[in-house]
C-alpha cells in the first residue's frame, strides 16, 4: 500500500478526513460523501478514532473498506489515551492485518476521571508504531499551539521532537496563512523540515466553527468574524463568504509552498467539492504518459485541472 510520505514527495496532495459512523443513518451519509468525493481523486484519506473498542472496530471497518473496496490510501487515527501498551500493540497489529501502511499517532484528549495509561504522549506512540513496522507515521500540529501547552515555545519544541521521529504532520484547522507560515518557520529554526500539511475547515456556520475553534485553542480572527456577521444572520450568505475565505486561504497556502491540503469534511462533501473546484491545484501526477488518479489506477493522460 502507498506510503503517504512517498505521496508528499511526489507533488501536491489533496486529502480528506472522515469519522466512523455510529449508526446506519450515519453510515449511509458517509458512503454518499465518499462517492461524491471520489471524482476528486484524493491522495489519501484519514479516519478518526475516539478511543475504546467499539470506535476502534468502526475505524478499522471504514479503513478496510476504503483500502479493499475503493482502493483509496486510508490512514487511521490512533490515540494512546485509554489504552495500555499491550492494547496498542494489538490495535496496530489489526491495522497492519487490514493492509494499513499509514497511521496518524495522537495523544488524545484526557480522560474525564484523569486516568492515565502507560503511554502519555504522542511521541511515545510514534516510537511504538515505528518499532512495530508501520511504514509511514503522521502526527498532529497546532499552529496556535496545543491548548494544553504552557506556552507556544514549549509546544513547538515538543512538536519538533515528535515530528523528528515521524514522517509528516497534519495541522489542526486555522484561518490565516501567516499562522501556518509561522509554524513551519519555527520548525525550520528547530531543524525540522518534514512536510506539514495544513488542515482546512470551511466555515459554513459561524456559531459551530467558533465552538470547535474554542475547543481546539484556535480563535477565529476578528476580521473573519466581522465579515461573517455582516451577513446579518443569512445562512446562505454566511456560507458563501465562508467558502470564499476558505478558497483564499487554500490558494495562499499553496502559493506559499504548502505540500498539500487536508479537508475536515465532517462527513459531508458539498463545501469541499466547491472549494476544490475553484482552486488551482497542479495534480494529478503524470507518470510515463499515464495519470495516477489517486485510487491506484493509471489512465491515459488528459487535462483534469479544475
Query: Tens digits of per-residue pLDDT, 33-47?
Result: 999 999 999 999 999
Q: What is the largest CA-CA distance in the chain?
A: 57
Q: What is the mean pLDDT of the chain?
A: 86
Q: How large is the average pLDDT for residues 14-19?
A: 96
Could you give the C-alpha distances from 209 to 84, 183, 203, 205, 227, in angstroms and in order? Answer: 33, 22, 6, 6, 14
| Whole-angstrom distance, CA of residue 253 vs CA of residue 247 | 10
Residue 292: what pLDDT? 44
Class of domain 4-300: alpha beta
If you search the block for the grid coordinates 458539498, which residue do you land on?
Answer: 270
Has residue 278 got a pLDDT over 90? yes
| From 86-90, 126-130, 223-227, 262-266, the region with the lowest mean pLDDT | 223-227
Who wins on pLDDT, 298 or 159? 159
Three-state SS for 161? helix
* Per-residue confidence (pLDDT) for residue 277, from 0 to 100: 94
Lowest mean pLDDT among 42-46, 63-67, 163-167, 195-199: 63-67
Instruction: Choose the weakest-confidence range: 39-43, 72-76, 223-227.
Output: 223-227
Rounded-to-integer distance, Cα 149 and Cα 177, Å: 22
Residues of the chain with pLDDT > 90: what percent? 61
Active-site hit among 17, 124, 236, 244: 17
pLDDT score recorded for residue 114: 55
pLDDT higher than threshold 50 for residue 124: yes
Instruction: Categorize the per-residue pLDDT at 112 as very low, low, confident or very high, splitting at 50, 70 and 90.
Output: low
Residues 76 and 61: their CA atoms lie apart, in Å, by 10
Answer yes or no: is pLDDT of 305 > 70.
no
Q: What is the DSSP string of 52-89?
A: SHHHHHHHHHHHHHHHHTS---EEEEEE-TT--HHHHH
Residue 289's pLDDT is 31
| Lowest-pLDDT range of 99-113, 167-181, 249-263 | 99-113
Q: Nearest 5 degrees, angle CA 21-CA 26-CA 27?
A: 70
Q: Smallest Cα–Cα separation from 258: which of 216, 175, 197, 306? A: 197
Please choose, from the candidates 111, 167, 179, 177, the residue with its C-alpha nearest in 3D space to the C-alpha of residue 139.
167
The pTM of this model reads 0.88
Please say if the pLDDT value at position 215 is more than 70. Answer: no
Secondary structure class of 256 (helix, strand, coil) = coil
Inform me whether the pLDDT recorded for 89 exceeds 90.
yes
Residue 202 is classified by DSSP as: -
**17 catalytically annotated:** yes
pLDDT at 285: 43
Cβ contact 243:274 at 8 Å:
yes
pLDDT band for position 208 (50/70/90)?
Answer: confident
Per-residue model confidence (pLDDT) at position 51? 63
Q: How many CB atoms lie within 10 A of CB 133?
A: 10
Residue 146 to residue 29: CA distance in whole angstroms:
31
Mean pLDDT calculated for residue range 111-136: 85
Question: What are the residue ranges spanned by the domains of the chain?
Answer: 4-300
Amino acid at each position: 500500500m502507498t506510503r503517504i510520505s512517498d505521496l508528499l514527495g511526489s507533488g501536491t496532495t489533496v486529502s480528506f478526513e472522515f469519522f466512523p459512523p455510529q449508526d446506519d443513518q450515519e453510515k449511509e451519509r458517509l458512503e454518499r460523501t465518499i462517492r461524491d468525493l471520489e471524482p476528486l481523486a484524493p491522495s489519501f484519506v484519514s479516519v478518526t478514532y475516539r478511543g475504546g473498542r467499539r470506535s476502534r472496530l468502526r475505524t478499522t471497518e471504514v479503513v478496510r473498506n476504503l483500502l479493499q473496496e475503493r482502493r483509496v490510501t486510508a490512514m487511521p487515527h490512533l490515540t494512546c489515551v485509554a489504552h495500555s501498551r499491550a492494547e496498542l500493540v494489538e490495535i496496530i497489529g489489526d491495522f497492519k492485518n487490514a493492509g494499513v501502511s499509514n497511521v496518524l499517532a495522537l495523544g488524545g484528549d484526557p480522560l474525564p476521571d484523569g486516568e492515565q495509561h502507560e503511554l502519555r504522549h504522542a511521541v511515545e506512540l510514534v516510537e511504538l508504531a515505528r518499532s512495530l513496522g508501520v511504514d509511514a507515521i503522521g502526527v498532529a500540529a497546532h499552529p496556535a499551539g496545543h491548548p494544553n501547552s504552557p506556552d507556544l515555545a514549549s509546544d513547538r519544541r515538543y512538536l519538533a521532537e515528535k515530528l523528528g521521529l515521524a514522517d509528516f504532520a497534519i495541522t489542526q484547522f486555522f484561518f490565516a496563512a501567516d499562522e501556518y507560515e509561522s509554524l513551519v518557520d519555527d520548525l525550520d529554526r528547530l531543524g525540522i523540515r518534514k512536510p506539514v500539511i495544513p488542515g482546512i475547515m470551511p466555515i459554513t456556520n459561524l456559531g459551530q466553527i467558533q465552538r470547535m475553534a474554542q475547543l481546539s485553542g484556535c480563535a477565529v480572527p476578528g476580521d473573519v468574524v466581522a465579515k461573517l456577521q455582516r451577513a446579518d444572520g443569512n445562512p446562505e450568505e454566511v456560507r458563501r463568504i465562508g467558502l470564499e475565505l476558505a478558497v483564499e486561504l487554500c490558494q495562499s497556502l499553496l502559493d506559499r509552498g504548502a505540500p498539500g491540503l487536508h479537508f475536515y469534511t465532517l462527513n459531508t462533501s458539498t463545501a469541499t467539492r466547491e472549494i476544490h473546484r475553484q482552486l488551482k491545484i497542479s495534480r494529478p501526477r503524470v507518470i510515463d504518459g499515464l495519470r495516477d488518479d489517486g485510487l491506484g489506477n493509471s489512465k491515459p493522460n488528459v487535462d483534469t485541472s479544475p
